[in-house]
Chain A
């Protein structure tokens, strides 16, 4: 690894200097007096947990948003005006997680979009010439893609290389890669890194954002850590250990004060939820998992680990390509939610707005959607519905005007409790919670997790799928997924550092 230190020599200005950047969205502070200095020719890593402020920094560095307070210079020059898109594009390029390729056009046209006949030219487009320029450009950056190909057919890795080549052809020598490896497999990551190394040798500077710390050690010269909207440290990679990096990311946050210790689950307890060689092509493979009655098992992993798609396959929202799921011993029909529910499964889906709730219906109706029979012959008895709803409201301490209030009027935490009430209304033997505390305040989180604890004590098997450390504290053991495979399992008593290390793909020490 090259390490020139952080002190800029007089004749080489840093490519980017951001100082004292503060950005607020309403009551949320996304960045607070944060900054970054990126030296020319370096590959600079930027890491931090969700909500640390990485995306906001990228938006500010690429001119998509303006900082409320702070100073931003490129190679010693002040940043261009927000409206001057061309000015920004000459200084900084960004490969976002979202594609900026137009799928219906050819690769060649995508490379020269809006400048097909030369910069600012309005003359007729010479397609032959355009293809030749595209071929030259792709060759110059060793991107082996056919310029005539329709861009929709590119793989993620090829798409990224085309976007990088396009950015460099605009004159930018500073490229931000926003989690470029999240959608790549191991081989694709290797190819990307090879290309980054050869571009670095040609003087291209990178800001590399990743959730996988191991990658930072593989490719970066320098690393910056953000935590809770603040800059924590910037160090040469050679001077920092994985443990030090994790400590910087997690901080010395006090461990959760709630104690969820339950008596160990006897091995004689029935298995209420089991997966066998479960796989969904392109997402995860070979996941074997068993949850016993009274046990709480966590499944975690960073974005792109296959955690969410695994959970959605278990409950039948997605159809597996291999393997099977058993609920209380009964095999469920692949990709078929009703059969999972019938077998005794309850679940809280990932996005309560999209899959969890029908906002204009009342609390009572939402809470009882899964109840198979509210009365004879499919007749939904309003009285029975209301009494069931009152029971849920009491059990889960839902703050509402009553069963008839539309759920659209509830707070995030209470709305999530209605979803949980619905999952519990059918009295499930096994419960799957997918990201149960996203957008939920601290107190509601605690009361939700207390419900999980109580359910487990009462003999329900619970699977908690989340990347929030707080959610996982309630678990007896935690299974960690990495790139779609089971990376390891942490028995009860894990520490935050161990968990983060496993999630980020670093062998725990």
Chain B
């Protein structure tokens, strides 16, 4: 090797724009790819039905999506850090069911424990935390596959709910549960405000805080994250626990919204959760995607659902159309990112 060498042309070419102007970036834009889609949906909706653009209808769409959006927030955090949790859809049922059963009188299918009414919300949230932490225990400490662990938990938790409630819906719900689902602040339901606030907090933490960025680092390359001094297992455990907590909170909202805990609350919801995440650009491989994108995914699904209903499409066809939308979104993601999906 000679010791004198010219600076290589390739290296300089690889620096596209040294002047400091923001560089056009497809990857950046992917966070916003759904914004035009949502605008198109709004236009289509307006053409299909005059009711669509009324504030009552749009607020209705938002409120219907609140529980889903909180679950999507939880799943997004988990997916970004390279993990998976299927059991969220059962937590959304068991956590409020347990809390209600503990405080409700036996006439309302309670357990007869007659705990004070104020304990309902803390018990509900604590149940979510415990479920998330238990998932973390099995996955981190016993090194089990996250997919199978949470699939097993999905079944166990659903079974616990059926066992505790005897398969009945619980409709004697404490007032504290009903508040968020039934109150409006400035004409918009309180639950919508709360969801919006949760997403803002999530976006800020994931975008601007070391702890939030560590989720991306772990999901992107766990060895490199560990080498940089991130306590990878602990962070993943915290994320799973927060996921459980958020799912329990979603259960709280859902119970308030419908005024009861149905025996199959949340059943099959996990498919919509994943659909919204993937459409919103969250990578199943971890390390990629934004909460804003996931939120857009929720809105796109909600608007589609609403338009199909207003257009008089039979509910029996909704599932097929959902599936098709997910597949189209995957194809679009493949085309825009240009990378093969595993």
Interface residues of A (CB under 8 A from B): 85-86, 89, 98-105, 109, 113-117, 121-122, 124-125, 127, 144-146, 148, 150, 155, 157-158, 187, 189-191, 193-194, 197, 214-215, 218-219
Contact = CB atoms under 8 A, between A and B. Distances in A.
Contacts of A89: 229
13 contacts: A100-B221, A100-B228, A103-B287, A105-B217, A113-B213, A113-B224, A113-B230, A125-B209, A125-B210, A155-B14, A193-B5, A215-B1, A218-B3
Interface of B: 1-3, 5, 7-8, 10-12, 14-18, 22-23, 25, 27, 204, 207-211, 213-214, 216-217, 219-221, 223-225, 227-230, 283, 287-288
B8 A191 contact: yes
B210 A158 contact: no
A116 B210 contact: yes
Given A117-B210, A146-B23, A218-B1, A158 B220 contact: no
Name which of B210, B230, B287 has the most chain A CB atoms within 10 A of its CB: B210
Contacts of A122: 209-211
Contact of B5 (A105, A146, A194): A194
Nearest to B287: A104
Contacts of A194: 3, 5
Given A99-B224, A148-B23, A193-B1, A158 B213 contact: no
A138 to B, nearest CB: 10
B5 A145 contact: no
A102 B287 contact: yes
A190 B1 CA distance: 7
A215 B17 CA distance: 34
Q: Which of B12, B18, B204, B220 has the most A CB atoms < 10 Å from its CB?
A: B220
Contacts of B229: 85-86, 89, 114
A342 B157 CA distance: 55
A124 B209 contact: yes
B220 A104 contact: yes
Contacts of B219: 104
A232 B183 CA distance: 80
B217 A113 contact: yes
B139 to A, nearest CB: 21
Contacts of A197: 3
Given A99-B221, A105-B220, A146-B23, 14 more contacts: A86-B229, A100-B227, A102-B220, A103-B220, A103-B221, A104-B216, A104-B220, A113-B217, A115-B210, A125-B207, A127-B208, A191-B5, A193-B5, A215-B1
B232 to A, nearest CB: 11
Interface centre among A127, A155, A194, by most chain B C-beta atoms within 10 angstroms, is A194
Contacts of A145: 14-15
A341 to B, nearest CB: 27
A150 B5 contact: no
B8 A187 contact: yes
A282 B221 CA distance: 24
